[in-house]
């Protein structure tokens, strides 16, 4: 058996990823490519896929540049004053990435049961992190003489039962050594499924898929799953601090994999922490990207790369407090990146006079919180607290899952707790009422801001490949080009003609129709009858078609094994959001460059025809470009609010501009485009199906 990510689930080692391979029927993408059943002779039989590495290489170049600047900046810090000034700077940046956080409300904790065990008690706790949004947890309390004790927040990785899984090992062991431990169920696991169905099942899939599926639409309101996870943990610290058993001078956090993520993020924002032990997460963003290591929604900090942040910074924000980084030699989270981060932290802690407070443990195993790693954590925390000299883990039996449940059926009911889709729906409705209708002049400003568009839209160059004949295209000959819109980005553009043309295109006639594809223009020019009909009806127009970046001819060959729809679109969509440049904004930029290029050729009267995913960039570009005289949209998304207010949806996160609903919604654009004779041929709803 290959040692791939899905074969690392070794419960003895507390593996962090319990991932199922089959997505639910609810999530099956309605936009999957169909076979080209009408193909005959011509290259469209096997559409040219000339630049499959373009998107990956583009982001690698970008991230390497950011990483180099980051490393140079850290090693350029020479004094304690430099380090403290840098720390103040990154703390503000981290809050901006993970926030905005809601106002704190009363926790309203409820203890639903207790387990009396030798040496400690387990309380089953439910607290409220947001209004109506509940967190299920277990509180382990040592039986001692009543003196306040150090406390540890336990964050769980990707295991179905979360707090009642094998993460009990560290919770019980710490309690036996004299620590109060609060271990919490994270969103989408344990008793906190966001799409629950009978039998403790999920309508999507517990864990990874729920994190991503519930997290993607949060983008629309300027929120993130990373922020939600962190906030639950912050409120967990609030609960620990509310307990009389806890000594506030010693509060730690530890977790593995997804729990290592929560631990790392919490180090960046929680000043009450005095020690931390993130396991099997900390590496570098560059290593994750280059290794094509896709992560959950909560593992991407929006705008983090744009602000020059890396995993290092979340730990440095806590310096000089003690932190031990835990990694495994055989982990898919590249231990080389862990080493690189550790060495930078050694330099940073040394500037603060506390080099001994940053430590590294590297195990010889696969991904997981294995016993040697747990014992390294026990020993490290003991050095800080002096509560115990015992760094070993005793033998004991784990509790049964159901014995640790806080609810009778092992799942918060809809009456007991709201879900993220319910909360997001209410928020979207409130934002819509506040936003109102956006005027034409304000709409353009809002588009530029939400899409992060630059001032200029220029084509630096374009390639012309050997022309070819495609008998089933609306016109039989293809001038095959790649238009460069920025360094490393080439967009496939066809000019369809009645005669074979090998040379550069010319702007005759002035009228032109530009088709913006859904998934792949080669397939759609043959098999989408409506698109063929519309293009054929424009007999007095020049015909151009395009696949924007990452679509069709430049669709990435990146291997993404996650069982989610549009997984490559998710990978690069989230990466783009970390860059502070939403992928839908970059595609709109590409289209605006192509429109200006067409104008430079002499085409000054432009009709845009958008299809499916291509409708959004077509819509935005048409609002902003005055040479677009007519707009035709086939299967356009009805509204972003429709997605935010629906429990289920079938659109990729790459189609979501960050915080768009606080700026505008698609109906504002459609209203504005009435001045350009907008024609909508079928509207798609949140599930990418025809609106009823």
Domain match, 541 and 591 both: yes
Which of 382, 412, 442 marks a domain boundary?
Answer: 412
Minimal CA–CA distance to 130: which of 173, 187, 74, 172? 187
Taking the CA atoms of 341, 343, 346 and 347 in sequence, report the sign of the dihedral they define.
Answer: negative
The set of residues, in sequence order, having a beta carbon less than 8 Å from that of 325 and lying 6+ positions away, is 278, 282, 315, 338, 341, 342, 345, 358, 359, 360, 361
* Residue 39 covered by a domain: no
- What are the tokens at 264? 């790392």
- In whole angstroms, what is the distance from residue 204 CA to residue 96 CA? 30
Domain match, 375 and 438 both: no
In eight-state DSSP terms, residue 519 is S
Domain match, 258 and 171 both: yes
Minimal CA–CA distance to 564: which of 298, 52, 208? 208
Domain match, 111 and 155 both: yes
- In whole angstroms, what is the distance from residue 258 CA to residue 17 CA? 8
* Residue 374 covered by a domain: yes
Q: Which residues of the chain have pLDDT under 50?
A: 1-41, 692
- In whole angstroms, what is the distance from residue 112 CA to residue 602 CA? 74
* Residue 5 covered by a domain: no
What pLDDT shows up at residue 7?
A: 31
Alpha helices in 99-224 (DSSP H): 168-176, 208-215
Helix (H, G, I), strand (E, B) or coil at 690: strand
* Residue 606 covered by a domain: yes
- In whole angstroms, what is the distance from residue 191 CA to residue 468 CA? 58
* Residue 16 covered by a domain: no
- In whole angstroms, what is the distance from residue 667 CA to residue 408 CA? 45
What pLDDT shows up at residue 44?
A: 61
* Residue 20 covered by a domain: no
- Supply the CATH number for residue 218's domain: 3.40.50.1820
* Residue 156 covered by a domain: yes
Domain match, 498 and 402 both: no
Alpha helices in 325-439 (DSSP H): 335-351, 371-385, 420-435
Helix or strand holding residue 90 (H, E): helix 80-98
- In whole angstroms, what is the distance from residue 485 CA to residue 476 CA? 27
Domain match, 189 and 296 both: yes
- Total number of residues shown for the chain: 692
What pLDDT shows up at residue 34?
A: 40
* Domain region containing 654: 429-684
Structural domain count of the chain = 2
Domain match, 202 and 75 both: yes
Domain match, 285 and 405 both: yes
Whether 609 contacts 531, CB under 8 Å = yes
* Residue 422 covered by a domain: no
In eight-state DSSP terms, residue 17 is B
Domain match, 404 and 535 both: no
Helix (H, G, I), strand (E, B) or coil at 686: coil
What pLDDT shows up at residue 562?
A: 67
Domain match, 307 and 441 both: no
- In whole angstroms, what is the distance from residue 463 CA to residue 494 CA? 11
């Amino acid at each position: 058996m290959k040692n791939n990510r899905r074969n690392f689930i070794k419960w003895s080692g507390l593996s962090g990823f319990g991932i199922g391979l089959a997505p639910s029927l609810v999530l099956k993408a309605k936009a999957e490519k169909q076979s080209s059943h009408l193909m005959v002779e011509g290259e469209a039989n096997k559409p040219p896929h000339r630049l499959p590495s373009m998107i990956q290489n583009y982001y690698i170049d970008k991230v390497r540049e950011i990483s180099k600047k980051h490393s140079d900046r850290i090693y350029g810090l020479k004094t304690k004053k430099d380090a403290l000034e840098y720390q103040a700077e990154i703390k503000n940046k981290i809050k901006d990435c993970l926030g905005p956080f809601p106002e704190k409300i009363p926790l309203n904790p409820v203890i639903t049961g207790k387990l009396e065990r030798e040496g400690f008690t387990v309380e089953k706790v439910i607290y409220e992190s947001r209004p109506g949004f509940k967190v299920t947890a277990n509180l382990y309390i040592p039986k001692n003489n009543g003196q306040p004790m150090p406390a540890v927040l336990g964050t769980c990785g990707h295991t179905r039962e979360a707090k009642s899984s094998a993460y009990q090992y560290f919770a019980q062991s710490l309690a036996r050594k004299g620590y109060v431990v609060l271990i919490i169920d994270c969103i989408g696991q344990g008793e906190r499924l966001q799409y629950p169905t009978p039998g403790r099942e999920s309508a999507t899939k517990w864990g990874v898929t729920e994190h991503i599926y519930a997290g993607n639409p949060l983008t629309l309101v300027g929120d993130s799953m990373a922020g939600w996870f962190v906030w639950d943990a912050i409120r967990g610290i609030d609960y620990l601090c509310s307990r009389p058993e806890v000594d506030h001078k010693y509060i730690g956090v530890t977790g593995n994999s997804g729990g290592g993520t929560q631990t790392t993020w919490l180090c960046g924002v929680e000043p009450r922490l005095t020690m931390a032990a993130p396991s099997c997460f900390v590496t570098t963003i560059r290593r994750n990207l280059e290794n094509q290591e896709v992560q959950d929604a909560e593992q991407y900090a929006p705008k983090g790369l744009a602000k020059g942040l890396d995993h290092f910074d979340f730990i440095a924000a806590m310096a000089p407090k003690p932190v031990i980084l835990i990694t495994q030699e055989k982990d898919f989270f590249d231990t080389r990146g862990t080493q690189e981060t550790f060495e930078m932290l050694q330099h940073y802690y040394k500037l603060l006079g506390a080099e001994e407070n940053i430590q590294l443990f590297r195990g010889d195993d696969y991904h997981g919180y294995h016993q040697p790693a747990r014992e390294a954590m026990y020993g490290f925390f003991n050095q800080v607290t002096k509560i115990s000299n015992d760094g070993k883990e005793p033998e004991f039996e784990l509790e049964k899952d159901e014995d640790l449940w806080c609810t009778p059926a092992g799942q918060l009911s809809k009456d007991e707790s709201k879900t993220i889709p319910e909360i997001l729906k209410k928020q979207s409705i409130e934002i819509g009422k506040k936003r109102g209708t956006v005027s034409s002049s304000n709409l353009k400003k809002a588009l530029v801001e939400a899409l992060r568009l630059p001032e200029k839209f220029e084509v630096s160059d374009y390639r012309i490949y050997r022309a070819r004949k495609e008998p089933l295209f609306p016109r039989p000959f293809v001038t095959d080009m790649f238009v460069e819109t920025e360094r490393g980005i080439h967009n496939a553009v066809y000019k369809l003609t009645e005669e074979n043309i090998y040379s550069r295109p010319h702007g005759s006639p002035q009228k032109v129709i530009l088709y913006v594809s859904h998934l792949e223009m080669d397939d759609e020019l043959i098999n989408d009858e409506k698109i063929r009909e519309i293009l054929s009806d424009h007999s007095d127009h020049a015909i151009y078609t395009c696949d924007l970046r990452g679509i069709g001819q430049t669709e990435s060959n990146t291997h993404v094994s996650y069982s989610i729809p549009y997984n490559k679109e998710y990978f690069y969509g989230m990466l783009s959001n970390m860059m502070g440049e939403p992928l839908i904004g970059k595609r709109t930029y590409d289209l605006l460059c192509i429109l200006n290029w067409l104008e430079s050729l002499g085409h000054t009267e432009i009709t845009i025809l958008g299809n499916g995913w291509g409708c959004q960039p077509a819509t935005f570009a048409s609002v902003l470009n005055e040479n677009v005289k007519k707009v035709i949209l086939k299967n356009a998304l009805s509204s972003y609010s429709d997605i935010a207010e629906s429990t289920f949806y079938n659109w990729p996160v790459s189609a979501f501009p960050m915080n768009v609903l606080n700026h505008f919604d698609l109906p504002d654009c459609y209203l504005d485009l009435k001045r350009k004779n907008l024609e909508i041929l079928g509207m798609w709803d949140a599930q990418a199906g025809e609106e009823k």
